[in-house]
Amino acid sequence: MIATIEYNSKKYKIDLSNPLDISIAIDTSKENINAWYVEDPKIFPVSDGDWTGSVQEGADVNFNNIQFNPHSHITHTECVGHITEEVHSINKYLESFFFLAQVITIAPEQLENKDFVISKKQLQYALGNKKRDAVVIRTIPNLSEKKSMRYSHTNPPYLLEEAAEFLKEKGIDHLLIDLPSVDKEKDEGKLLAHNAFWNTKGKIRMQATITEFIFVPNTVKDGAYFLNLMIAPFENDATPSKPTLYEII
């Protein structure tokens, strides 16, 4: 299905019949993605006396509890409430869900201290003078193992503060990345990239979001797409999300 939409006074045609899902689901049937030193997620039937909420065990319905942490186990979208003392909910501040996005692929650079990082220079080269609401960062190597990685104590790549500052200055409101965090795993709580992107030292960008733990298949080419940033309605700093791209034709 081809749809014509008007966005920022321009008309675009997008292919609604070919959604490109870039989320990672919770799947307890196999090794689930995991970060931040917590146990794996659990999905299990409710038990009440002799009754168990499982059709296989004689119930009329499957009736499961789900135990998980959005930051550790699934693609999630977070607001500034993730790092502020005052409680802010992603469900309150993300009010629009359809954005013009740019998919870019970056090979993190190695610093002298051996960390791998994404720099301002790399983002400048990849984005150029393009005006976008969202940026979707795919890092390489881009292996399917990303969907089941155990990230705790591995010091994965991250954004330099200057890179997050650049995205803020460029007007990027929605940052999506295929890593567990935009910041260094162990940084003494500085959270430099989070703070720079949300501008916590100035007028906080309440509308801005960070989505982590995405997976962009190699079949998705770099370029402009429309992004549908769907979230679950949790009143929390972060919530599971299902970002989906649509090709512009």
**Each residue's pLDDT tens digit, 71-92:** 999 999 999 999 999 999 999 9
Query: If residue 76 lies in a helix (H) or strand (E), which one and from where to where?
Result: strand 76-78
**Does 7 have pLDDT greater than 90?**
no
Q: 211 CB contacts (<8 Å, ≥6 apart)?
A: 75, 76, 77, 78, 174, 175, 176, 177, 229, 241, 243
What percent of the chain has pLDDT above 70? 100
What's the pLDDT at 163?
98
Model confidence band, residue 6 (pLDDT cutoffs 50, 70, 90): confident
What's the pLDDT at 103?
98
Average pLDDT (86-100) is: 96
**Each residue's pLDDT tens digit, 160-188:** 999 999 999 999 999 999 999 999 999 99
| CA distances (Å), origin 90, targets 71, 80, 101, 211 | 13, 8, 20, 11
Q: Which CATH architecture has domain 2-35+70-247?
A: 3-Layer(bba) Sandwich (3.50)
